Structure 1
Amino acid sequence: MDFNHSQDRQLLANTLERYLQQNYSTETRRTIAGSVEGWSPDKWHELCELGVIAALVDETHGGLGGTGFDIAAVFEQLGKALVVEPLLGTLAAVYALSKGSPQADLMTAVVSGDKVVAWAYEEPQSRYDLTEVEARAEKGPDGWRLSGKKAVVSQLKAADYAVVSARISGPAGSETGIGLFLVDLSAQGVRIQDYAVIDGGRAGDLTVADTPAKLVVEDGFPIAEEAVAAAIVALSWEAIGVMDRLLNETIGYLQTRKQFGVPLATFQALRHRVATMALEIEQARSSAINAAASLGNPRRERERMVSAAKFTIGRVGTIIAEEAIQMHGGIGMTRELSVSHYAKRLMMIDHQFGDEDYHLERFIRLSSPY
């Protein structure tokens, strides 16, 4: 099999890589991540002009791609630069919108960079379980209204709208009765608690109280599951970009730093550890390829491959982060060195949309014939 990107995808990846190298340095990223906003509207519009958002949306909704490998081509480069702009939430949200009721004007505005949409699904008690939805939706004479809470919504304050899950019927824990709704974050009853996150950028907790909303899809669980699968593919490839960068940073440090008058790279024990890092990254890359290829497959096969990739990324990410820091010595923990920031991002990727333990158990469950 040929795992190389198509010519168009490779062109996009190369263009994005050059842009980030020239305009999104470690210092620039540190400044943006530490700002009050936690993102840069200027960088956001520049990324949109490059076609980054368009690559995440299918052609029928005004985009240029939307497949698993389009997502891979974009997020691998974003991982190499530790980009903090609200791309992950936008991906999940537009993926859900594209599968639900048409939102042509909004989709056009998102692709152009004029609007930002957040993905507000997880709740304080959900623990990665997509069926654990307690927010309620009630239909009245003037339309739908939502009440409830959503937790740790990535770049919530940056968003103009949010795709929000709410239970129309049934108890929490049931796959049926979950609807997806579009909420204008300037509407009445919306409250946002904004805060910084440890790996850079910001997140927020969303509270809605009798807030008007537009129905995206009434039977929302299958679409939410598919949107999260796309987000996990994105996270997997972002992690590949992060791990490649950590490997290169570590090799460069070992070739430069000297002990007993010779570079650290001449010590066989350290060379073996670097070789192990490279081997583990290739294992993770293979799982990410499988996940990207599975997005269009039937539900059970898709979810198995996505959970396998998320488990592998979590396991390998821990190895790469720890090895990179250890081989850099004490300096690897400092804020001034980029290694510490890449390691933090890998640790947080493991916890987004289900950690290593959760997805191992889920993969086993999905693999069972019973």
Structure 2
Amino acid sequence: MDLSYSDEQKQIKEGVERFVREQYAFETRRKIAATDRGWLPENWAKFAELGWLGMSFSEADGGFGGGMVETAILMEAFGTGLVLEPYLPTVVMGGGLLAAGGSAAQKEALLAPMIGGEKQFAVAYAEKQSRYNLADVAVTAKKSGNGYALSGHKGVVYNAASADTIFVTARTSGGQRDEKGVTVFAVDAKAKGITRRDYPTQDALRASEVTFDNVSAGADAVVGQVDNGLALLEGVLDRAIVALCAEAVGCMDALNKQTLEYIKTRKQFGVPIGKFQVLQHRMVDCFTNAQEARSMTLMATLKIDDPDATVRKKAASGAKVQIGKSGKFVGQSAVQMHGGMGVTDELAVSHYFKRLTMIDTLFGSQQHHLTRYGNLSMAA
């Protein structure tokens, strides 16, 4: 199998790496993170100008006909620079929901302006009691006239403060943990009845606790089918997992590079500490873990569009388990080899470590996905 990039993919890779190199120096990133918004509108406009926001969508949806490989190229480079712009919640998750289940009218009203850089999204699916069970939905959507009234609370909603539209899962029928009865709605982020508590996360992103109090949503706000939104959400989050894994690979590569440079220059007992065999062995282990993570991410990238949902789910979960394992090893090793300064805010290493730690828990921990993988294997 030829795994080399096409000429177009090479151009994308070169372009995004140049952007990160020129626009996302560590000190620049710290200044961006300190702003109220937490990302720069001019960077988002550049994403749109360069076609990155529409790159992975079909031409029929107004995109440029790319796919998961192109998304992974972008996300890996974003990982090397710890890019803060909300590409994952807006493009991969929100845009993914519209591409997979949106009506023609929804795509015209929401997806097209998102590709143009004019709209951003958030996806509200997590609840305080649900852990990683996507079917555990207590937010309700009760029939109200020709539409629905949404009530309940969603937690850790990334990019809700900047979003124009929030995609929210709500229960339209069945019990709280039933797989059938979950529906996805596209709700105006400024709709009456929505309240937010915004906060920065440990890795300098922005998230919110969002409460819905009889928020009105018309029948045309339903994305996909009523009562059958769980499969739609699962498919989109599996793609988000692969994108996240690609970002983690970029983080690990950057950490390994910075750590290697440090042990070559930091001296102890009159010699660079990189001369010590134990640290040489540790760097080899870090490199091996990063390559294992890269291989699993590549495998998942190639299998994520498999028509067999079980193949897709196993690929995503397998990659997430390896990313969690490798990210923990590489991150902790980098901090340890840098000594006490490895956890200071002034050093980039601590920020990569925080991001890898958060990636390990986002969309499901190692244990969750190991269990999921095992259950899928036994059911096959």
Q: Which TM-score applies when normalising by structure 2?
A: 0.95
Letter in structure 1 aligned against 2:15: T
Summarize deviations over 1:260-310 as a string: whole Å, max 9, x none: 222222222111110111111111111101111111111111101100100
- In the alignment, is the contact (CA less than 8 A) between 1:144 and 1:215 conserved in 2? no
Q: Is the 8 A contact 1:156 1:203 kept in 2?
A: yes
Q: Which amino acid aligns with 1:96?
A: L
Supply the RMSD in Å over aligned alpha carbons: 1.2
Match of 1:97 in 2: 98
> Which deviates more from structure 2 when the two are superposed, residues 82-91 or residues 38-47?
38-47
Give the match for residue 195 of structure 1.
Answer: 199
Extract unaligned runs of 5+ from structure 1: none
Q: Are positions 1:185 and 2:205 aligned together?
A: no
For 1:23-60, what per-residue CA distance to the aligned partner results, in whole angstroms no more than 9, with x for missing partners? Answer: 11111111111222122222111122122211232322
Give 1:65 deviation, angstroms. 3.8
Instruction: Provide the rounded CA distance (Å) in 2 between the counterparts of 1:309 and 1:18.
Output: 27
Identity of aligned residues (%): 40
The letter for the 1-side match of 2:94 is A
3-state DSSP of counterpart to 1:48: helix
| Separation in 2, partners of 1:319, 1:58 | 38
Unaligned runs of 5+ in 2: none
Residues 197 and 210, structure 2, Cα contact 8 Å, conserved in 1: yes
Preserved contact between residue 128 and residue 154 of structure 2 (Cα < 8 Å) = yes
List per-residue Cα deviations over 1:295-335 (Å, max 9, x = no partner): 11111111011001001100111000010011111111111
Kindly state the Cα deviation for residue 5 of structure 1 after the two structures are TM-superposed: 2.2
Shift of 1:66: 5.0
TM-score (norm 1): 0.97
For the 8 Å contact 1:32–1:201, the answer to whether it is kept is no
- CA displacement 1:204-239 (0-9 Å, x = unmatched): 011111112211122211110000001101110000
Aligned residue type for 1:156: A
Aligned residue for 2:69? 69
2:55 is aligned to 55
Aligned match of 1:127: 131
Task: Write the letter of the residue equivalent to 2:251.
Answer: V
Q: Which residue of 1 aligns with 2:216?
A: 212
Counterpart check, 1:28 vs 2:28: yes
| Aligned equivalents of 2:198, 2:296: Cα separation in 1 | 34
In 1, Cα distance between equivalents of 2:185 and 2:81: 33
- Within 2, Cα distance between the matches of 1:41 and 1:145? 33
The question of whether the paired residues in 1 share the 8 Å contact of 2:324 and 2:365 is answered with: yes
Aligned pairs for 1:1-370 (under 5 A) are 1-90=1-90, 91-100=92-101, 101-102=103-104, 103=106, 104-213=108-217, 214-217=221-224, 218=226, 219-297=228-306, 298-369=308-379
User: Which ranges of 4 or more aligned residues in structure 1 deviate by more than 3 Å?
Assistant: none
| Partner AA of 1:325 in structure 2 | V
The one-letter amino acid paired with 2:356 is L
State whether residues 16 and 50 of structure 1, in contact with CA within 8 Å, keep that contact through their aligned partners in structure 2.
no
